[in-house]
Chains A and B, each alone.
Chain A
Amino acid sequence: MRLGGWLNRLAFAAAGMLALLGTAAQADEGPKDAATRQWWALTRELSSDAMEGRDTGSPGYDRAAAIVAKRFAEAGLKAAGDGGGWFQTITFEDLRLDEARSRLTVGGQALRFNREVQLSPSAATPKSLTAAATFRGYCSQAEIADVKGQLVVCYGRPAPARLKGFDRLKALQDAGAAGMLLIAAPGLPGEPIRWPFAYSRSVTPLEEVAVARGGAPWLQGVLNPDSLARLTGQADAILKAGAAGADLPRVELGKATGVLTVNRRVTRSANVLGLLPGTDPALADQAIVIAAHLDGYGRGEPVKGDRIYNGTLDDAAYVALLARFAAMHRGKGLKRPVILAVFTGEEKGLWGSRWFVKHPTVPLSRIAAVINLDQVRPLYPLKLLSVHGLKESSLGDLVLQVAKARGIAVQEDPEPERDLLRRSDNWPLMQACVPGTSFVFATYDDASRAKYRDWYERRYHHPADDLSTPIDWQAASDFNGFFTALTEAAADAPGRITWNWGLAPHRAGAVRFTDLEPQYQPGKCELAVLETPKGQRPAAATYLTEAYQAAHAALFAKGAVRIQPKAPAGKIGFTETWVLPPSVADAAIAQAGGDPRKLEALLGLDAGYLGDAPVRVDIPAPQNYRIPSGNEYAANAFWRPGGMTWEGGLPEAVIDPVPPEGYVVTPVFGKAP
């Protein structure tokens, strides 16, 4: 039987039965207004113990999905799943460590699964392991030069200031390590240590499994920081030093031995997709996706006797909010279509949203924006929202307008090192060039910080993320109203939602000398190019419009210029050289008024770089002009697609190396070079 059909039939029977389970009295007075009461009633239903934590591929998840589909149907939405149904079903490979038939010891000490160590089973998990175990601090390249064949324990996260951009996993595999155990999540100020997770399990769409297979045996997992003391005898010192980003010691941990049994099964789980049709036919190709994830952690290690990870705020409450949005708009469509996307597999790797992007039931070219809701946390008054994706697109402008009208202050993500923008279902859509945003309640005083920290330590991904959570009902109501207003504003906005080029503000006060701004081909965007590793980035011609490319090239039709501290000694450039248009050089030099420091500021060069007698190197006939692809070896972290300097916004290009006979040197300010 097709899962979607089974879910459709179950929906109507389950909803009536489960409504009875949602009537337990709240410890506090509960929501005061009707809309919030209705929202919370559905939240109760979706996160009750009867749903068993809504694990991906579990009967509890399917029951919850059926309830959501029923609510969507009652609200008059159109089904937007596979084959005209509500569901988009994904077939998963589910790998689970058989704890009863597995063991792992380090230094002669057995580690308890899901208490002291959590392993991530995969096709590469070795059936047996015998290796030296070693703690190598942050596992930077200098610390792991000699780890071939060893099980390496690393401090949980690279200290951002020390190891920027370091791909530790790949480096360890390249070094021939037998595996990696990370000490669980220490060291980030907003992300305190938490343990245990639900259990050792990996869920991957079958379609992806074939891609992932192959390679040498590899053991990967997370180590409880509490068990560090047993293994090293210096846990406190390590955790303290790691949190401060200080040097960490190397500690040999003895021999690691293991027998690891992984059970495999094939399971299915479904996204639930509904459509609120738009009212303006001219905007039918600009749908707004509002999203939340229905899956949770299911049943896992008990905490205080409770083994159901209900996932009330993460994320049942926000699936419930989507359903409430649908009910509120029954028969009252907005100008643009609104797709209500309830994703599965978010906790297992954003699988539901990734699947939707790979197999869209509505063409991605007809989706204008995504607004994602994930563990928003109304635990204290809503005064300040942290907004992910605030500056990346004009959706951020709408967020600012709607929040301001409701007296809510807005800030960019204050903890970019946690990478929250990439950790929820907005991200796969954004990678596919759909502008997106998501939110969390920001803290602003000691009381809010204490409530946030308590929730994070005791409830987030724990059984206590349940109906006992002390909700601030006014804050919940305020956020729900904000979300509804934002979705309405996005769906009714007069203009198309567009990406902001530069993906961030340009330097304050920058003089650009041109109005030219990069224009992208349909379905292409700056973010997707920037996410591509250097060396693999596409040519600019594959993503910029022809008109933009022509306008950019026209700036260099009369030559190219470099501004340097002194005349070149010979050929300029190795495989290429970076240049500005003559018109920009002319304008900047004129505006600098003879002051090299002003010229440096106008061109975005380091203060003092040009010295006292800079020269202008004119290249009248540049060879092989092109918009930089970002694969040039000198393309640094300030490179942005589109042939504009960042943060200055000046047109730039690369050309072939220039021989001495190909350039003319003159003093910038009339002084001899």
Chain B
Amino acid sequence: MTREVVCDLDGVAVLRDGSAWFIRYDAGAHQIAMREDGISAEEAALAMSGPEGAVEVLFALQQRLIAAGINPYAANAPE
């Protein structure tokens, strides 16, 4: 299986791999830092609702990553 882009919000994309959902985004400020992280189906739906929902998902995701000891601002995916 490969990750398929389900929704491209022109800067943030929601991807699907079977039943698993992912969000692809630039987590960097002055420096580009592309990431792909797993999200729930509910979060995927929220992210696909538009930029406001996508940012809400990214905030929650960042908190989860920090809690897991992962730097959410460092790249983990190719550009």
Contact = CB atoms under 8 A, between A and B. Distances in A.
Given A573-B11, A575-B51, 11 more contacts: A141-B67, A141-B68, A142-B68, A161-B69, A165-B67, A562-B30, A571-B10, A571-B11, A574-B11, A604-B30, A634-B28
Most buried by A among B26, B59, B64, B69: B69
Given A535-B59, A574-B12, A634-B73, A605 B30 contact: yes
B9 interface: yes
For the residues of A in contact with B, the DSSP-based class is: loop
Interface string B24-36: 0111111110000
Interface string A144-166: 00000000000000000111111
B26 A574 contact: yes
Given A535-B59, A633-B59, A140 B11 contact: no
The 4 A-B residue pairs whose C-beta atoms are closest, nearest first, are A574-B11, A636-B73, A578-B29, A634-B29
22 contacts: A142-B68, A164-B66, A165-B66, A562-B30, A563-B30, A564-B32, A574-B9, A574-B25, A574-B26, A574-B55, A580-B30, A605-B30, A605-B31, A609-B31, A633-B55, A634-B27, A634-B73, A636-B73, A639-B29, A645-B30, A652-B30, A657-B11
Range class of the A interface residue count = 35 or more
Contacts of A165: 66-67
Interface in A556-598: 562-565, 570-571, 573-575, 578, 580
Interface residues of B, number: 25
Contacts of B72: 636
A578 B30 contact: yes
Nearest to B62: A633
A209 interface: no
A62 to B, nearest CB: 45
Interface in B37-76: 51, 54-55, 58-59, 62, 64, 66-69, 72-73
A578 B68 CA distance: 27
A483 B64 CA distance: 44
A554 interface: no
Contacts of A504: none
B30 A163 contact: no
A534 interface: yes
A534 B59 contact: yes
A536 B8 CA distance: 28
Nearest to A161: B69
B26 to A, nearest CB: 7
A208 B15 CA distance: 46
A103 B9 CA distance: 57
Nearest to B27: A634
Given A534-B59, A574-B12, A166 B31 contact: no
A259 interface: no
B31 A575 contact: no
A29 interface: no
Interface in A212-264: none
Contacts of B31: 605-606, 609
A551 interface: no
A210 to B, nearest CB: 29
A65 to B, nearest CB: 43
Nearest to A573: B11
Contacts of B10: 570-571, 574
